[in-house]
Amino acid sequence: MPGIRQPKAVPVDRVHAGGEKKKDDAATGPWKAPKVVWPAAGSAEVDLASGPVSKSFLSGSARTPVIGSGPQKAGKLPIAVDVLPGKASEAPGRVKVTMAAHDAARKAGVDGVLLSVGRTDQGTQSASAKVEVDYNSFRGAYGGDYAARLRLVELPACALTTPDRAECRTQKPLATENDTRGGTLTAQVTTPGTTGRSAKSGETSKSAPAAASAAAAPATVLAATADASGPTGDYKATSLQPSGSWTAGGSAGAFSWSYDIATPSVPGGFAPKISLGYSSQAVDGRMAASNTQASWIGDGWSWEPGFIERRYKSCENDKTGGTNTTKVGDQCWFNDNATMS
């Protein structure tokens, strides 16, 4: 038998234990949970008929200023209201913005804030305006890139009074512009006109305010809440259905289940087909003396995706066309072979 070729020793330098202590990068900038402050409940009125004037909204040969340009803050609330571009005459003259308490939002099934916008100018027709909600104070309330998934939705008016009813939790998504850098949500909101009868001509001026209050316009209920997906990812729950594909009973008495995993499409249509398999027999026969390690998926689960293998042969039998001329017992690659299993 030929002897095994002995490798030549390579000169090395001794490495002493210790050395320079490395800086712990994780300790220098540890992650901290962002501070979350939910807006306090409150209300404020915004006068859109006498809003600020912007140079960019000057019109006509005489440069007549257009009233209502630029969002107007609703008091101390993180909400601003603005008229629609080019539709100042169709906007409500005055609106009341109300922010509900966070507890009311949770009762309505809203993982965000609950608010309402209503007309107070006694207009009888519906009017639209732009509503802007600042979410910087609670943008880190949840994970999964919560801020990027936020949007404005409309809810029934009963969401403020009877939120436990299913029909009061129906959400109607609005076309929302989410400025993740500035932390604002902007959407067009329609405010309904007044309802009921106004003060009669025979009523005294003292009773007129009461009649006007009775004819107040209903408010549009809105919510800033997160969708299941956003521009940065989809966070919907996977459809792990127990009825995917399973068998049970038979002569073996085993329970088997397979679950297909969806894979992204690739050019050429060569996407792999992945299916996880489970068998109760894989764990039924285990005992204390056996190897009870779980698979890389879990107990009873298996997935054999295959592998690519290159094979050896004795260098003694691989001299033809090779560079090895010495009789040794080493292993050499057998040509440029690769086997997919």
Three-state DSSP class for residue 198: coil
Identify whether residues 319 and 178 lie together within a single domain: no
Read off the pLDDT band of 189 (50, 70, 90): very high
Point out the least confidently predicted range of 69-73, 134-138, 166-170, 245-249. 245-249
Identify whether residues 100 and 169 lie together within a single domain: yes
Identify whether residues 279 and 324 lie together within a single domain: no
Three-state DSSP class for residue 281: helix
For residue 262, pLDDT beyond 70? yes
For residue 287, pLDDT beyond 70? no
Q: What are phi and psi of 285, to 5 degrees?
A: -95, 10
Residues of the chain with pLDDT > 90, as a percent, come to: 35
Enter the tokens of residue 218: 């209903």
Mean pLDDT score of the chain, rounded to an integer? 80
Domain membership of residue 20 (yes or no) is no
Domain membership of residue 111 (yes or no) is yes
Pair 138, 88: CB distance under 8 Å: no
Domain membership of residue 9 (yes or no) is no
For residue 263, pLDDT beyond 60? yes
Identify whether residues 277 and 215 lie together within a single domain: no
Identify whether residues 172 and 218 lie together within a single domain: yes
Whole-number pLDDT of residue 125: 85
Pair 302, 295: CB distance under 8 Å: yes
Whole-number pLDDT of residue 267: 85
d(CA 255, CA 311): 38
Read off the pLDDT band of 60 (50, 70, 90): very low
Tell me the per-residue pLDDT of 206-222, one tens digit each, with 9 for 90 and over: 444 444 444 456 899 99
Pair 225, 233: CB distance under 8 Å: no
For residue 280, pLDDT beyond 90? no
For residue 64, pLDDT beyond 50? no
Q: What are phi and psi of 157, to 5 degrees?
A: -60, -25
Quickly count: other Cβ atoms within 10 Å of residue 266's Cβ: 9
Q: What's the number of domains the chain is made of?
A: 3
Pair 117, 96: CB distance under 8 Å: yes
The whole-model pTM stands at 0.59
Enter the tokens of residue 196: 């009921």
Enter the tokens of residue 161: 């009074």
Where would I find the H helices in 158-267?
A: 208-214
Domain membership of residue 26 (yes or no) is no
Domain that holds residue 69: 42-229
Which DSSP state fits 218? P
* Close Cβ partners of 139 (under 8 Å, ≥ 6 residues apart): 34, 146, 147, 150, 183
Residues of the chain with pLDDT > 70, as a percent, come to: 76
